[in-house]
Amino acid sequence: MRVVGFVGPSGTGKSHRAPWVARENGISYIIDDGLLIKGNQVVAGISAKRESTKIASIKRALFLDPYHAEKVKNALLQNGADSVLILGTSDGMVKSIAERLGLGDVSYTIYINDVADEYEIKQALATRREQGKHVIPVPTFEIKKDFSGYFLDPLQVFRRKGKVRFQLEDERSVVRPTFSYMGKYTISDYTIYQIAEYTVCQIEGIAKVSRFRAENGPDGINIEMDLVLVYGYHIKDRLRAAQKKVKEEIERLTALNIKSLNVIAKSLIYVKNEENKQAEKIED
């Protein structure tokens, strides 16, 4: 296997440039912060950005967990990978990762100064220092299920196609990991309940939320809801609609990652429509 290192200090823009560097050098796979990436997909691994402390993040990026290392090693073998770009903050880090994954010697190394000028590197460092922003070179949906932290706007990279047209080349996730928070924010369970209640009450056929439970974890939130439905509507359709809309709204408004959202039809109520009311008046 051809192993190529991509080295630069933390926050200098390696993850942002990694897909381009890989393409320019004919490299199929990227190893970045614990993830094995091909194109726009995570093939295996766990993002170091999901860890809650800086030390845990470094350990994850170095594949010090044998189970983590074995999963990535097996994925490379099963996919017949012939080349890989390993991102690291030093030559020693790249060499250590290659050894942990049994990839052999590093063929050659590309440094961040080879692909970015001094101004671009300073800009990237300022963004990391002042805003705590990190880039993961895959679309958000690829890592959201496993990410612990705060998602910012996705970064879309375009390339020129023809004289005036541009084509989307890559989408990357811009995140603020838990370990790099500048301060801390908390969203109460009652706020999450209010969002859920308002959302489901806008869905035709649902009367109200009778019970709500939210359980926070390090990598997301688990929600349980009991609903009171209106008689006459297809129950499974209403539950699916509630599940979908509540998940969308909570994630959109709070940036929390919902791991599970269980919805139960607890009871039914009968609501008289206008035709029934008119019929009762005539009979009277």
125 neighbors 12 (Cβ within 8 angstroms) = yes
Q: Which residue has the tokens 């009367």?
A: 207
What is the pLDDT, as a whole number, of residue 281? 45
**At a CB cut-off of 8 Å and minimum separation 6, what does 3 contact?**
83, 84, 86, 98, 103, 104, 105, 106, 107
What is the pLDDT, as a whole number, of residue 40? 74
What is the pLDDT, as a whole number, of residue 279? 43
In angstroms, the Cα distances linking 217 to 90, 149, 223, 249, 258 are 33, 12, 11, 19, 10
178 closest CA partner among 132, 212, 114: 132
What is the pLDDT, as a whole number, of residue 207? 92
What is the pLDDT, as a whole number, of residue 262? 94
HSE-up of 232 (CA within 13 Å, CB side)?
9
For 81, the token pair is 């990978």
Cα 40 to chain center, whole Å? 13
For 56, the token pair is 């845990």
* Regions of the chain where pLDDT drops below 70: 127-186, 217-219, 255, 273-284
Report the alpha-carbon distance of residue 49 to residue 36 in Å, rounded.
Answer: 14
18 neighbors 172 (Cβ within 8 angstroms) = no
What is the pLDDT, as a whole number, of residue 57? 83
Alpha helices in 25-172 (DSSP H): 54-61, 66-78, 91-100, 112-115, 118-131, 140-143
Query: Which pLDDT tens digit goes with each residue over 103-145?
Result: 989 999 999 999 888 888 887 787 666 656 665 555 544 455 5
What is the pLDDT, as a whole number, of residue 181? 52
Report the alpha-carbon distance of residue 193 to residue 210 in Å, rounded.
Answer: 11
What is the pLDDT, as a whole number, of residue 168? 44
13 closest CA partner among 117, 158, 109, 83: 117
Q: Sort 229 into a burial class: Cβ within 10 Å, 0-12 / 13-18 / 19+.
A: buried
For each of the domains in the chain, give its residue range(s) and CATH number, in order of start. Answer: 2-180 (no CATH), 189-269 (3.30.70.1350)
What is the pLDDT, as a whole number, of residue 209? 92
- pTM for this one? 0.55
Report the alpha-carbon distance of residue 41 to residue 268 in Å, rounded.
Answer: 44
Query: Which pLDDT tens digit goes with each residue over 39-75?
Result: 878 888 888 877 777 788 889 899 999 999 999 999 9
